[in-house]
Amino acid sequence: MKAPITEISFNAEGLKRLGYTKQQFIDEFSKIYPEADLNAYADNMGLISGPTVEKAAATFAPIPPAGPDEKVSDPIGGAAATGKEAKTKEKEGGK
Amino acid sequence: MKVNELVCATDLRNTGYGSCVFNPGKIVSAIKVPTNFSIPDAFATSPSQLRTYLDQARLADAPSQRIWPVHGFKAYTSSSEDLVQQTLGYGSQVPIRDGNYRWTFQFTDGGLCLLKALQSHNFQSSRWIFVDDQGVMIGWRRQVATGGSFDLTGIPLTFHAMKWDPNDGANIASYRLYFDFEPQYINKYLGFLPVEGFAIQEITGLQDINLVQSGVSAAGVIKILAKTGCDGSNLYDLYSTQLAAAGLWNAVNTSTGNAITITSVAADANVKGFTVTLSSADPDYPGAANGEVTITLGGPTELDAADISGFEGRPITVVRG
């Protein structure tokens, strides 16, 4: 019998930076972690409710590539950061 | 000193001695150290500082800044050069120079795995500090900075982890390390530092963690096993909780080298490994299913902070699926 995977370490900052809504998060990760209480994880991470994946595909603008020298807004610290810096920050926050 | 004026024998030492002298014991350990590595003179009176200093150095994330301890030497063979002399026409011999030291140490602990690891250090310039069986570190005493203290540093030498010889029925398989260096470093410039308060053998080398894929990738969902580099032991039972942390894993697009966001990591008891998921929304996520990603763990310092002490992860490259 397969052991359920219910203890998951999510990269909260990364998911927020990538613009995941609660519903998108649940839709995507329920296929990977079907036994996990993703609703609780989403709430703990503070993911906001939003459109489903189908709606999101139509309404969300694609995230522009963040090159090493390209500035992107940093939703965590508020200050501008390069793509690499932003990813570094999210890793630090995800520990 | 003036032109045409010699300064001879200005540093003749007296020959009296007290009751406490240094007689080196058997060399039982050697530590490869970075070129710029030195143990400050002040640490001679602070064992805890020395311990912390060495511990941090063994965990250095950059290999060029790391120390590489090797312990457990069991036998020593000298093939050092004799004093090099010239025989003159009337029969007298005059010394030209001291011969080089050529030391060979045999070890058994760590076996072929340790030997292979040390062979990766062959054919590189390297500096080493030796340790005797009394816990005295022996190296090159030098003033690293002008006006600074005289510190203990590594001896510049030629190192070679020799090819192994098989067990012949009477002798075990032989693993030997060869060190060749000029005698001045441990004679004229000898530096030694007794280690007190802890055993130098507590400062151990890092173990590799080999990441191994389980199954096949599926759209950025990758199952990875963490195994020790030497014997392939699965580390899941020891570190499943610690390794199941998204912040401890890194992924890059193999072709561009740009980081890809890891969205989650979870321990999976079914494969005794870890589910690592990559964000397909990340602009650096490979466009094609056969695009490759390289996954690794955080550096030794980061692993140590997560209570996975004494390890360094080796990267694995897989298709993202």
Q: What is the pLDDT of residues B132-153, one digit of tens each?
A: 999 999 999 998 888 888 999 9
Name every chain B residue with its beta carbon within 8 A of the beta carbon of A38: none
SS3 call for A30 = coil
Of these ranges, A24-28, A56-60, B161-165, the one predicted with the greatest mean pLDDT is: B161-165
CA distance A76 to chain B (A): 15
Pairwise CB contact (< 8 Å): B265 & A8: yes
Residue of B nearest to A11 (CA): B263
**In whole angstroms, what is the distance from residue B218 CA to residue B237 CA?**
25
Quote the tokens at residue A25: 């998060």
- State how far the alpha carbon of B145 is from the alpha carbons of A84, B122, B142, B148, B155, in Å: 36, 29, 9, 5, 17
Q: Is A10 on the interface with B (CB under 8 A)?
A: yes
Say yes or no to pLDDT of A58 above 60: no
Q: Which residue has the tokens 């005493």?
A: B141
Q: Burial of B20 by CB count in 10 Å (0-12 exposed, 13-18 middle, 19+ buried)? A: exposed
SS3 call for A22 = helix
Query: Can you list the residues of chain B whose pLDDT is less than 70?
Result: 1, 9
pLDDT score for A72: 38
| DSSP conformation class of B321 | -
Question: Could you say which residues from 228 to 247 on chain B have a Cβ atom under 8 Å away from some Cβ of chain A?
Answer: 244-247
Q: Is A57 on the interface with B (CB under 8 A)?
A: no
Q: Is B279 on the interface with A (CB under 8 A)?
A: yes
Name every chain A residue with its beta carbon within 8 A of the beta carbon of B284: 65
pLDDT score for B13: 87
**In whole angstroms, what is the distance from residue B197 CA to residue B28 CA?**
18
Q: Is B268 on the interface with A (CB under 8 A)?
A: yes
Name every chain A residue with its beta carbon within 8 A of the beta carbon of B246: 9-11, 14, 91, 94
Which is nearest to B110 in space by CA: B19, B43, B206?
A: B206
Neighbouring CB atoms inside 10 A of B135's CB total 18
Say yes or no to pLDDT of A19 above 90: no
Name every chain A residue with its beta carbon within 8 A of the beta carbon of B247: 9, 11, 91-95
Neighbouring CB atoms inside 10 A of B216's CB total 11
pLDDT score for B274: 96
pTM for the full predicted model = 0.82
Residue of B nearest to A69 (CA): B258
Q: Is B277 on the interface with A (CB under 8 A)?
A: yes
Which is nearest to B249 in space by CA: A10, A82, A34?
A: A10
B136, B129 contact by CB (below 8 A): no
Q: Outline where DSSP puts E strands in chain A.
A: 8-10, 71-73, 80-82
Name every chain B residue with its beta carbon within 8 A of the beta carbon of A64: 283
Q: Is A33 on the interface with B (CB under 8 A)?
A: yes
Which is nearest to B30 in space by CA: B139, B115, B191?
A: B139
Helix (H) or strand (E) holding B317: strand B316-319
**What's the whole-number mean pLDDT along residues A9-35?**
91
